[in-house]
Structure 1
């Protein structure tokens, strides 16, 4: 017994050292790795917030460009006729959708000519804030030191996001008559929108609050607040590249807390396993009498042959071997219990697999006569898959994928090399998006190699996300009202034609009598006429004709492969013909016309500005001649 106690104490000391080393390794190195992950995730989240803010600035600049580079705005800054405001700025829906709060018209001396609150519930009502923004920005643009200023600006009333551009003619010519400023308050509503999109708690910190923080080259900083939260900061610089504040993002430390919990659980399980191992070792130490070992061996042989661990072993006597026999009996009883627990755990994992929200298939690879993968057998499918695809488990399990779902074999299993490489390397492959024609939906797929010849297939419907991404692209390149290519889109199309070096025509079109439509029937009638006219114009669009809306009632038409002026004139005549038919608006007939100027590349200009300017001049000559 002394030897047993001595060995037990040695085992205890060894296991204790193992536990201490394991615990401190997990606490030190694992925690450090987790912190690096948390910092990376926080910087990634901050980067996404910055990208959204930059996108807002870009959208504001795009909207500003439509108003500031416009002949009507240019004229308004000369005569200050309020009809311009009534005709063009009564319906501010597009600006409201961008959460723009105010519009300021300023002359070149910084005097505010007109300011408009875009949001009914928000805006700038404090003259000092208006004056501060105007005085800081207008002198820089008026002096032509900068053609555009976009970004943050700080006032006593808060921080604002602004876009400022000089007011010039539509073609970009003419001496600037002032500055047009669009802006939004970077306050609680602005931060709430970003917080909602990224599931972060956002706030603005003053420079005094962050003076001791170290920002990296990307103007970011991350700080661990405590065991439960982490904060990320990115430096906010104004339009003059001067730091004015910092936006703070706070997120819970979910990864850290789960990891700490898992480490503690792991150490507890390790201690439990070590205790069981120590117990088994102590039991084996009692095997010191050889003549009774045969009895125990016979019992073990019987168990090995039959697999029945519920058999009993009977060893008479009160000695240590008899005690060892009883210990064996207890051991196999415990094994039987563990076997039952193992079956219970298997059932739990099966339930977890069945209740997984993603579509899940467990499969076996089928090989051809040359040992190359050619198909796979579906072994098991989860509940989510059977519900989403309206198929019974018995109709798919045990069947070849190619026979029950040919789209899987065609679209996912694209080539033998793909599956073969994944299985040989024991790794996983991800396919971000594939369109399944039979299902009329987009899916993302992840394929995991489980063991040689077996793999798991997990896939989710991402159609809604795909549609949202496409909608964002459409908003960036197409006019919201008419559905036609916007100014940016049509300009890019024309620029590409210069690179091709082939002849093409530019038609600059302005709708006749459109102002009278707005004056007589109202701005909505004008929008209706623009939308309806655009629908008619779309009938002329083909591979060689691109029609885009510049803004207001001005349109730009690109005619590719136009070898002479007659082709352009024929297209202009077609446009006039389809617009000559009256439009019916609430039982009223509205008639408009079109004045169209034409320029030919390279005859009428060798760059985009010149050729559009000549087409614009030709249009105004036609309009002037009636």
Structure 2
């Protein structure tokens, strides 16, 4: 068959096959994919509906949790206090807002103590007495089945579907036996579905559960069913189960199949256009192939046959045009000319090759494989090498040619046997290969080797010296995985060690997370050079604990991690933690000063506390923080309830972020009195947080406020509020009382802090002489010169300055002379044993004498007994503050007790 006919048939069959394949694919696969997409879309929409209902369940559950874990609720279940009902459930606005329809309290015997229909106007969405009693009985049963945990979900009650949340009533700290159950109910009715349809933009209806309705579904996953009704409609069903696990409701969602219709239209249009295009293209291709290719190939074939017959290499092919066929004709002509000069060209090529070979910058060798009697490669003979190879091997040319390589490099037969095997494979297959890193003992260097086969049994290789590159890589690797200061593995290095331990599938191993206590104080007071000295000393002591099963790493700062492998019980990890505690008992000598550092240690165990590195490290980190909160200088073993504590802290943090905006902070006032007359001369403003009806002291939230960056805003609020309180005290009869307000270094560091103080005074219409700003000793020491400058500007306004908590920081009395202060407050830690410890009394006496010599008044904090008061009178103290004189109180109680 002629070429032209073959081309015609092949092109024709190809185009027909292409059209058929595209049509079948479009009609079947493509449309099937559209079906799958629509099914997944409807399935996703049904899941959104179910998720929306679950969100409502969680909303009412949050209310149940708040009320059921409230001490007032706990007491009500005991004494049935009507005042509790009046104050919490007479105004049901909040329950209406959450769309709660019904609430009730059930005692331990299942009896309803109190119930209330929230929306009395909607009789259908109210529970009758018999319905409420039936619900109480079911909830009581469920609470027992749930092992005293919360109950939340769906309950079918006669012809009503209820969203129910219930929880056992206990004290707020989780202690105490359950006093009963608190229940909230919301109806899953038409109103709920209408709201759902509005919010999600769907059309959903609720049907009684019927298996026959969903039995012929096209897809079902996790109680979500999808059924293709026809080419116009596709339906999705969500099965809602009640708290007993019984399917009770079908949520049906119908969707139009707009996508499928559009797809069918587009596929038909595409096939039609494709067929027309193909036929036009087909005709053009056949015509061009015949004109441009077939005829010209026939001419070339005739000419070559003539050259073959006459053996006349001087006959040339005719060349017409500038395309590939013309280029082919030219190349044939060149080939004939080259054949005449082939021997001369080969000789010239060999001469050039030898010149290139001799001048190569890398070691080069041409070789022949040596085999044993069975044909297995055992060595290779060196046929030729270049000058660089001779220089590297330090050998003469005649001494190496036709010698076996293992005579020159014996290590190839011992340590690097795979190199010879690779060379043999390349020589026999005629391929090429690179060996990236090979160490040759005889040359004491690392090499990269490129080997390539030339002809069967022969090969060449090029040696490139990569020793310096290898050393650089190893140095970079060491830097990447080592800590510069301590020499321990860094974060990346210790993580790799933990991963390695996991891959070895050890039964158990331990992670000990170590954080140094009070390390920040060393950096702040003595500088980072001292801090680095301590870290190196700590590393040296930790290094004494190392053995084949213990790997120590530094995460950064003052955080270390120890991986303890091949242990049998957690007791071995506890023993290691005790050893760590022991090595910190002795202080570190730095420039004549003894520095003491302790450690908080958190322990997690693989695999119980995590099967991945991140989870395992997080568990040990949480345990470490638990040890630090416990006072430090000890260790804690991770437990699951620590995660609960972390969640509580996160929730408290979220509430704290909004506390200022919601005006939840209040000020308490504590009196400061003249030690001789006991007359109140000053009050200290102390912040409290009214959180969910509980008054929280600053110790529970101020550190958290610093962590989330809210401390300065809170300090500024206390400043403004305190000035207004002082003015109000004057108006209520305490004319000469001034107010002391705590400030921090961060608050002082605001660009316009002095202007903020002036604004607070002017806004309250308070004379500056009635305001005393207190800064703690350690805050003042953060930047002494800056602090002095700001305090001087405040004193020029007439404001008094007080140094708080003196005796707990890092300064000495010599700093007091530099600070422009009017009052010095001795910390209660020094006062506590003043009447029992003569040494404490002498320290306080020295502070008072020095302060008086600088014309500074002294306030003693924490006075709780008459003995302490009398002792401080004898020591000539000026003012006192503490429970003996008066506890912190809100404004109303303070006025009532001090008028």
Q: Please report the TM-score for the alignment, with normalisation by the length of structure 1.
A: 0.45
Which protein has the larger Cα radius of gyration, Structure 1 or Structure 2? 2
